[in-house]
Amino acid sequence: MIRSVLLGAGSYLPSHVLSNDELARRVDTSNEWIVERTGIRERHIAADGEKTSDLAIQAARLALEIAGRTAEDVDLIVVATTTPDLTFPATAARVQAALGVHQGAAFDLQAVCSGFIFALSTADNALVRGQAKTALVIGAETFSRIMDWEDRGTCVLFGDGAGAVVLEAQQEAERGVISTFLRTDGRMHDLLFTDGGPSQTQSTGKVRMVGNAVFRQAVEHISGAMLEACARAQVPLDAVDWFVPHQANQRILDGVARKLAIDPAKVVSTVALHGNTSAASVPLALDVAIRDGRVKKGDLVLMEALGGGLTWGAALVRM
């Protein structure tokens, strides 16, 4: 059977690190509050002029190198982002040109913090149906550009970064994307949104969130998505080697692990050092865990996320 095999991952973080103490000098917060309520200690912030595409290109180059593939091989690029360089063309078009990819399709996908899971599933469908052979799936964000830096309820949470994976259609029985589960419930649109956009206000808007309501939805729906992805693959949850969740809040990671009786040592957490990088957080965390030797070839990895929409989902992958 044809499977989308994950050949390599790469990631990129802007060099500037913003600490909790520095944030506490700007808004009424403290390092203690942020660490206790979120687990976040610092986040990376893109430099002036550093765009989402710049982050995406760096991550994609590394992923291609690790995968042993070149621009000539790639015939699909999906960039999950909420912070595109421009309203249009897609950031993916700029990424495609910069990488020297001269074939196939490239487009952006918008599912906010669930974007990478949605993009992985979309690329998987294209590969399995024979519409493409080698896909770059990228999550890239400059969320710092849409923060209200005076709103302590949101500005302490987010950071910038990018992560990418190379998927290749191969005749495979074992490795590759095994199952995905995607879900949106637009009735919860107003729990997490921007207060502007091209059609409504002719501006970008800033992030607004009813944090505690999103928190409750996150624990419930992320757990449900994980069970659903496993059920679709007829794989028990305890067969999973590594859980790579969206990095919104350490308390969400802990809450989900408790609810599903998962050993916390199997949960990859980068929330302390990256904060919430929206669509970039899952591939960034995956890349960290591959590089430090935790996630190895043959391991069963379950990725999951929840974000604005609300959207949520999970993807089960044999590495």
* 274 in active site: no
- Active-site residue flag, 221: no
Q: Which residues pair with 163 in a beta bridge?
A: 11, 139
| Contact set for ligand UT7, span 36-75 (CB under 6 A) | 37-38
| Using rule CB under 6 A, residue 153 touches ligand UT7 | yes
156 scored as a contact of ligand UT7 (CB under 6 A):
yes
**Would you call the peptide bond into 182 cis, given omega within 30 degrees of 0 as the criterion?**
no
What tokens were used for 147? Answer: 């923060």
Binding residues for ligand UT7, rule CB under 6 A, total 20
Active-site hit among 20, 44, 113, 155: 113
Residue (119 or 306) nearer to ligand UT7, CB: 306
Query: Which member of 221, 230, 249, 276 is catalytic?
Result: 276
The smaller minimum CB distance to ligand UT7, of residues 215 and 242, is found at 215
Q: Going residue by residue from 271 to 290, which x/- string records binding to ligand UT7, judged by CB under 6 A?
A: -----x--------------
Listed residue (267, 31, 66) closest to 156, CA to CA? 31
Nearest-approach distance from CB 3 to ligand UT7, in angstroms: 29
> Contact with ligand UT7 (CB under 6 A): which of 3, 43, 51, 152?
152
Q: Least distance from C-beta 210 to ligand UT7, angstroms?
A: 8
Q: State the nearest-atom distance from the C-beta of 292 to ligand UT7, in Å.
A: 24
Give the residue, chosen from 89, 196, 205, 211, that forms a contact with ligand UT7 under the rule CB under 6 A: 211
Answer for which of 212, 236, 263, 293 binds ligand UT7 (CB under 6 A) is 212
180 contacts ligand UT7 (rule: CB under 6 A): no
CB of 150 to ligand UT7, least distance (A): 11
Q: CA 287 to CA 163: how far, in whole Å?
A: 7
CB 166 within 8 A of CB 67: yes
Question: Is 14 or 275 the residue whose CB approaches ligand UT7 more closely?
Answer: 275
Is residue 116 within the footprint of ligand UT7 (CB under 6 A)?
Answer: no
**Partners of 180 in beta bridges:** 315
CB of 49 to ligand UT7, least distance (A): 26
Q: Does residue 215 touch ligand UT7 according to CB under 6 A?
A: yes
Residue ranges in contact with ligand UT7 by CB under 6 A: 29, 33-34, 37-38, 113, 152-153, 156, 211-212, 214-215, 218, 248-249, 252, 276, 306-307
Catalytic residues: 113, 246, 276
